[in-house]
Amino acid sequence: MASLKAAKQALRVQLKQRLAALSDVNKAQQSKAVTLKLLSHSNYRNAQRIAVFLNMPDEIQTAEIISDIFQQGKTCFIPRYKPRSNHMDMVRLRSLEEIQQLPVTSWNIRQPEDGESREDALFTGGLDLVLVPGLGFDKEGHRLGRGKGFYDTFFERYSRQLAGKPHTIALAFQEQLCESIPVTEHDIEIDEILCAGDHEDMKN
């Protein structure tokens, strides 16, 4: 177990270095390509209730995706992380404009305040699609997160409460694709991984 933890940590360091080397132009180009793939994807087009992350600087940019969710009249949910825990809720974002009014966390991402009353996806019908961030992914659908376990514990709660899990699509830069990711039985598998480039996108 300790060696697995060390392997994950070493891979995180390597992936962060790869991402740090990406220029803003490259990140914007890859984000655009991934966004176009997603918006024409049948799982996205057919989904009504979608959870999407507000990206950090080293993640695929999601602003255009969020804009499209509202343009298409779909319902948008975003993560609300509880500090000093591995608990995350998916809560409803009411409008595109609202993002700018959300407070900024210590991770420099915007999210609704903890005590604020918002529709919670787990209590109002679940989700059709979850767009998942991460540091690294492999062709088996394994994901390496940032080590907090937010998404893994969220999907565990989801399956307990709603029986099953929503379709998951990871959004990734090419630099985030790995030969293999070290995993435990608690690590969830992603259904599909979309990234920029000509090669086939990865599917379970």
Q: Known binding site for substrate: residues?
A: 54, 59
The CA radius of gyration of the chain, in Å to the nearest whole number, is 16
Phi-psi region of 93 (alpha: psi -120 to 50; beta: other; left: phi over 0): beta
Residue positions forming the annotated binding site = 8-12, 54, 59, 143-151
- Strand 75-81 relative to strand 49-51: parallel, antiparallel, unpaired? parallel
Exposure string of 166-177, with b = 16+ CB inside 10 Å and e = fewer, is: bbbbbbbbebbb
How far apart (Å, rounded) are the C-alpha atoms in residues 145 and 137? Answer: 9
Single-letter amino acid, residue 163:
A
Instruction: Tell me the binding residues for ATP.
Output: 8-12, 143-151
Residue 89 to residue 80: CA distance in whole angstroms = 5
Assigned token pair, 137: 């992914």
Amino acid 184 reads T
**Distance of alpha carbon 114 from alpha carbon 117, whole angstroms:** 8
Phi, psi values for residue 130, rounded to 5°: -120, 125
